[in-house]
Structure 1
Amino acid sequence: MVALSRKEYLLKIIQGRSLDGKNILAIAGQESSEVELWDIENSRKIMCLPQRCSANMTGRLTKKKGLCMAVQAFIPCESGGYVNILSSYEDGSTLWWDVRKPGSPLSSVKYHLESALSIAIDGLCTGGISGGADNKVAMFALDHQQGTFSLRNEIEIEQPGIAGIAIRPDNKIAATAGWDHRIRVYNYNKGNALAVLKYHSATCAVVTFSHDCKLLASCSADTTVALWELYPPKTPSKVLMATEEVER
């Protein structure tokens, strides 16, 4: 079984927009335990998490967590337009950051016994899913009032290693990409397994859903990309309608 390199994991990036209108890119930093935020338009690094300073104890604490393996940026309604970040680490932990408080995370959890390799946030920013080098998939909720995580569901899979995760834009379906060449599909709200898709012949690296929720794409180290049509939505979701309204 072949695992992805750290470089392949760190190419998972997501674009956000802060209150002042800047296009923000969040990536794992040059320092192994840091997260960097970049202003895309000006090609300028604007922040590190944790923020560097001579007396920063948090920086030393994140270094103890090992390499930053996955980063997810999101903008919850409660943040007033400011970017929040989830960052997952080699020791299996995940930190929740608010860019207005870069010195220390809002909260920290450890859902995995081995490296946390992938993470995804749902379209409403109310929760998400994480996967790791162990045999667990963790579905969690985010309490924006308290700034805390809570575990909704923990799913054990037969073979270890979840390299990629995606949640469909309507928040109904989720999918994982596994080291065992399998794509697993779940009911995101209930947490139950819906299907195991067997096509790839090597490690699956990434999964993603189309904007209209009709297609799932998966890619693998076998050099193929597969398109799947499964559980198409019958009616547009509130998330999709809100997104389309903003785009107009």
Structure 2
Amino acid sequence: MSRPAPCPIYTLRGAGAPLNTLHFRCPGGDTPLLFSGSAKGAIHIWNLNSRRAEMVVEGHCGNSVIWVSTLQSGDSLMSQGRDMQVCLWDLKEGRSEAVDSVWTGSVGFCQCSLLETSPSNYLLAFAGSQTEEIKIIEMPSKNPVCTLIPDTKLGMVMSIQLWKPDSGLGPLLFAGYEDGSLLLWDVTQRSELSHVKAHPEPIMCLTFDPRRLRGVSGSCEKKLSSWMLDNQNNIQLQDCVMLVNPGVSQLRIRDDSRLLASAGWDHRVRVFGWKKLQPLAVLQYHTDMVLSLAFSDHQDPRQRLLAAGSKDQRISLWSIYNEQADTG
């Protein structure tokens, strides 16, 4: 018999608005934290020991926060809002005013992507003011690196991810567009490496696993599209995973490359084995669209969590498949 669907181990309430983005910071020995960004412009910093918000930052003049992340140093928080700003916050100081900001000019919902290139420098990619434009800058200097614009009309940039291959090549970037196209860009050469039509509808989300050179994308249809890179850096479309209901807000792969989670418009989180895309569980708790997901970065695998944020203004936390069970 299959195991019954699990329940959340606890929930976080009090954000007071839909939860667009989630990000964990769970260093060993320190207080595990969960950062959330809401549709009313608030960033909550949740203490996972007390299960309460220990700080709330009002960062984007009441505009929706669509992305949050921390730098590996642990002291800097970044947030992106629909006020066309990316803000940098110093967590050491406990300050509630941004120490720096970047103007994006983008009114869309494409989340930024961050790639740390050294302990003190990182690349920041974001959708620009033009429909198909992606800008990449070096931080903290804000020096422009490149602007990427496709040769053909693909519509709005919907989803991006920077990554650095082990081969010694410079940074690469995946980008999903409004017409369903998926492109791989060489950031150093400012050139397209590969272009496939992954979906007939806009690519709402994508995620890539550099360990397996494999990724997956979702749209408003009833399927996920998986793809991989060959040794010539060409994107090869692979299997499709059919879903019961249409619409995926976000996709996340756990750091150990064992699990894939999808945030559904049907109020559900679906969990798959990442190796074979085998369905493992359907997590049912929320009463509206699930908008955001994050896997925790606990050093002890037994403590790992999956967080889901919903339009119903709640965050659910789940402990799933943390033992060495076969996840396909």
Q: Name the CA distance, whole Å, in 1 between partners of 2:275 and 2:160.
A: 23
Q: Name the CA distance, whole Å, in 1 between partners of 2:120 and 2:248.
A: 34
* 2:202 matches 1:115: yes
Deviation at 1:20, TM superposition (A): 11
Of 76, 81, 86 in structure 1, the residue corresponding to residue 165 of structure 2 is 76
The one-letter code sitting in structure 2 at the alignment partner of 1:116 is: I
Contact 2:217–2:225, Cα closer than 8 Å, also in 1: yes
Other-structure match for 2:234: 148
Q: How does 1:34-183 map to 2 (within 5 A)?
A: 34-50=133-149, 58-59=150-151, 61=152, 64-80=153-169, 82-102=170-190, 104-124=191-211, 126-143=213-230, 145-183=231-269
Instruction: Name which of structure 1's ranges 70-79 and 12-21 shifts more when overlaid on structure 2.
Output: 12-21
Identity of aligned residues (%): 30
Number of aligned residue pairs: give it.
220
Deviation at 1:13, TM superposition (A): 2.3
Deviation at 1:47, TM superposition (A): 1.5
Secondary structure, counterpart of 1:12 in structure 2: coil
Deviation at 1:19, TM superposition (A): 7.9
Deviation at 1:45, TM superposition (A): 3.4
Q: Using a 3 Å threshold, how does the CA distance of structure 1 residues 168 and 21 change in structure 2: closer, same or farther? A: same
Q: Which runs of 5+ in 1 are unaligned?
A: 51-57, 236-248
Of 202, 219, 235 in structure 1, the residue corresponding to residue 288 of structure 2 is 202
Q: Which has the higher helix share?
A: 1
Q: Which runs of 5+ in 2 are unaligned?
A: 1-17, 21-38, 40-63, 67-107
Deviation at 1:201, TM superposition (A): 1.2
Q: Name the CA distance, whole Å, in 1 between partners of 2:114 and 2:279.
A: 30
Q: Using a 3 Å threshold, how does the CA distance of structure 1 residues 79 and 109 change in structure 2: closer, same or farther? A: farther
Other-structure match for 2:319: 229
The one-letter code sitting in structure 1 at the alignment partner of 2:306 is: L
The one-letter code sitting in structure 1 at the alignment partner of 2:171 is: V
TM (norm. structure 2) is 0.62
Deviation at 1:11, TM superposition (A): 5.2
Contact 1:38–1:44, Cα closer than 8 Å, also in 2: yes
TM (norm. structure 1) is 0.81
Other-structure match for 2:125: 26
Contact 2:267–2:288, Cα closer than 8 Å, also in 1: yes
Q: Name the CA distance, whole Å, in 2 between partners of 1:42 and 1:30.
A: 21
Contact 1:177–1:205, Cα closer than 8 Å, also in 2: yes
Q: Using a 3 Å threshold, how does the CA distance of structure 1 residues 45 and 201 change in structure 2: closer, same or farther? A: farther
RMSD, matched Cα: 2.5
Other-structure match for 1:216: 306
Q: Name the CA distance, whole Å, in 2 between partners of 1:94 and 1:7.
A: 25
Instruction: Name which of structure 1's ranges 4-13 and 190-199 shifts more when overlaid on structure 2.
Output: 4-13
After superposition, give the CA deviation of every residue in 1:34-90 in whole Å (9 maximum; x if it has no partner): 11112221234331113xxxxxxx44x1xx21110001111111243x211000011
Q: Name the CA distance, whole Å, in 2 between partners of 1:233 and 1:152.
A: 29
